[in-house]
């Protein structure tokens, strides 16, 4: 892919929950914080058979814990329903710059190798969970999934470029 290809480095920011009404509107859950930031980013990219395709939100309004969105490319409930469960992404360049020393996009943490303070490999970051109070790292170890709050006192070192992070966490005995 070319460097200026908007689908080259997508960051997932939401998910389509299903059709809303009969005119091609879809229910959308935002993964951004705050949730309404999703509506400020573009272009939107939708997963389609293993690739990303651009779509254009024409209108949006709050609905429950998410939004209902009209996409220019959809004209019917059937078209909208076919997108149920699909992720919404935006090009990394569409997102605001972050302080690389203290802020991270979840995507950049997933896959990092995890070590304890003594340098022993613990596992690999499999995914993160949003709990409301703070994010939680789900670490895939050889034995089981280990959940560690993503707070500086438990994760004193994050080296995205080096592909690793260090945890200070005592596993329950």
**Closest Cα to residue 28, out of 40, 14, 41?**
14
109-119: per-residue pLDDT in tens? 999 999 999 99
CB-CB contact of 44 with 23 (8 Å): no
Query: What per-residue confidence (pLDDT) applies to 81?
Result: 96
Q: Which distant-in-sequence residues (6+ apart) come within 8 Å of 30 by Cβ?
A: 13, 14, 36, 37, 38, 66, 67
Residue with the bigger pLDDT between 37 and 99: it is 37
- Give the chain's length: 173
pLDDT of residue 172: 54
pLDDT more than 70, % of the chain: 94
Domains with residue ranges and CATH for the chain: 10-92 (2.40.30.60), 106-167 (2.30.30.240)
Residue 7 has pLDDT above 70, yes or no: no
- pTM for this entry: 0.72
* Residue 3 in this model has a pLDDT that exceeds 70: no
Q: Compute the Cα dihedral for 93, 41, 97, 111 and give only its sign.
A: negative
At residue 16 the predicted structure's pLDDT band, cuts being 50, 70 and 90, is: very high
């Amino acid at each position: 892919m070319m460097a200026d290809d908007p689908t080259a480095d997508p960051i997932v920011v939401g998910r389509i929950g299903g059709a809303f009404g009969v005119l091609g509107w879809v229910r959308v859950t935002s993964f951004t914080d705050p949730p309404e930031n999703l509506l400020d980013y573009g272009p939107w990219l939708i997963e389609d058979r293993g690739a990303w395709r651009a779509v254009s939100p024409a209108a949006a309004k709050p609905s429950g814990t998410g939004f209902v969105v009209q996409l220019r490319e959809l004209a019917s409930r059937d078209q909208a329903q076919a997108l149920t469960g699909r992720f919404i992404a935006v090009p990394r360049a569409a997102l605001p710059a972050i302080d690389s020393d203290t802020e991270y996009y979840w995507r950049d943490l997933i896959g990092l190798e995890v070590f304890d303070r003594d340098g022993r490999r613990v596992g690999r970051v499999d995914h993160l969970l949003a709990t409301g109070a703070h994010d939680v790292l789900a670490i895939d170890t050889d034995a089981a999934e280990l959940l560690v709050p993503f707070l500086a006192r438990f994760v004193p070192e994050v080296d995205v470029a080096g592909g690793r992070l260090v945890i200070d966490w005592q596993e329950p005995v």
